[in-house]
Amino acid sequence: MEFNVERGTFLEAVQKTLGIVERKSTMPILNNVLIKTGDGQITVVATDREVGLVAHYNATVVEEGGITIAARKLFEMIREIQGDSINLKKLENNWVTITCGKIKYRLPGISVDEFPEVSDGDDIGFSKIKSGLLREMITKTYFAISTDEMRASLNGVYLKIDRGWIEMVATDGHRLSVVKMKLEDDVVPDFGSEGIIIPRKGVGEIRKLLEDDDEYVQVGIQQGVCILKKNNTILRVSLIDSDYPDYEKVIPTERGIDVTLNKDEMLHSLKRMGVISSERFSGVKIQLTDHKMVLSSINPDVGEAQDELTVDYSGKDLEMGYNVKYLIEAIDVIGERDISFEMRESHGPGIIRSFGNDSYKCIIMPLRL
């Protein structure tokens, strides 16, 4: 096997696999990327058996064949090579040379036969969703995904499509982030009435695929695997097979005390409070009184902080505690200038949304200080 490929293309191709290849060595072959030649192109494949990536790139094929190579080392080699065109050649016993001008690397590979099968020729019904839409939904939910391995169903985002609306949800049990958007010219995919749960790592890889806002990405589901197609790339993500909790019942229906805030002002104020937090304590006290919002944080290990914002609110005075990190993360993803922060008395959840827009909500349970 031998081919010539443009350095920039090859670098990008290998870089895209780095998030997927395993770091652990339980199955050394999974540290590798598979590279095989095709008709005027090479195919680069990576998998950790949960998430799989298959991508095609233009190349000049000299001799057909395939090999797997340690992904991280290969990436570093290409990165350090100065030059335009790279030649990759498989020798006997699966050794590989990578040459560019006078630069020459020689390293051992592993035979293609040992690499797990990652299919790329799925013949299933694909639907189209705009990249920008999907990416925005991921950004607005990703931070709330649970890291607690005990609750497998919460270790991913929940995605549901219902009568022209697409909804994405993530929760760690303390806060819940939900985005609901109208599908327009997008062709509605069929996810079944149950919806699907995409694991955290898969969500991260999907996000990387969604670069251009106006491009469309094709989405399909087959036997517990979510398949995304874009141009030369196919991403396969094994879904979490579990029931998602009944999140709709924790979204309050009655209105609380609604405060309108400038997003940047509030975010900066919260970040000032965040300086005081530590691993052991990250609380912020929020008091509404006399058309002011007083934020304060006291951490016996670090010190104290206080700040004040002039605000507009309807309802009576209030005093609540929250985890400052939860508030920051919920507000940070809002693109609009103003936000609405709805609070409730007696341990009721708080809700963050962009002002006058209900498509994104983050429900945050208070922290009793």
CB of residue 323 to other proteins, shortest distance in Å: 6
In the list 63, 64, 84, 148, the residue contacting other proteins (rule: CB under 8 A) is 148
Task: Quote the radius of gyration of the chain (alpha carbons, Å).
Answer: 25
Considering the complex, state which of residue 267 and residue 369 has its C-beta at the smaller distance from other proteins. 369
Residue 238's contacts (CB-CB under 8 Å, 6 or more residues apart) are: 49, 50, 51, 199, 202, 224, 225
Q: Which of 283, 284, 339, 352 is close enough to bind other proteins by CB under 8 A?
A: 283
Q: How far is the CB of 279 from other proteins (least distance, A)?
A: 9
Of 225-233, 265-273, 333-341, 359-367: span binding other proteins (CB under 8 A): 359-367
Q: Which residues on adjacent β-strands are paired with residue 170? A: 177
Euclidean distance between CA atoms 156 and 201, whole angstroms: 8
Asked if 217 and 187 touch (Cβ cutoff 8 Å), the reply is no
Q: Is 320 in the site for other proteins (CB under 8 A)?
A: no
- Per CB under 8 A, the segment of 35-43, 71-79, 88-96, 174-182 that binds other proteins is 174-182
Q: How far apart are CA 46 and CA 233, in angstroms?
A: 12
CA distance 21 to 134: 24
Q: Under the criterion CB under 8 A, does residue 245 sit at the interface with other proteins?
A: yes
198-202-207-208 Cα dihedral, nearest 10 degrees: -170
For other proteins, which is the closer residue by CB, 301 or 336?
Answer: 301
In terms of CB distance, is 132 or 252 closer to other proteins?
A: 252
- Binding of other proteins at residue 202 (CB under 8 A)? no
Task: Name the minimum Å distance from CB 353 to other proteins.
Answer: 17
# residues near other proteins by CB under 8 A: 24
- Strand-strand pairing, 85-90 and 2-6: antiparallel
Q: Which two tokens stand for residue 109?
A: 């590979």
Identify whether the C-beta of residue 316 lies closer than 8 Å to the C-beta of residue 350: no
Q: Does 349 bind other proteins (CB under 8 A)?
A: yes
Q: How far is the CB of 270 from other proteins (least distance, A)?
A: 17
The residue ranges that bind other proteins (CB under 8 A) are 148, 150-151, 171, 173-176, 245, 250, 280-281, 283, 321, 323, 346-347, 349, 363, 365-369
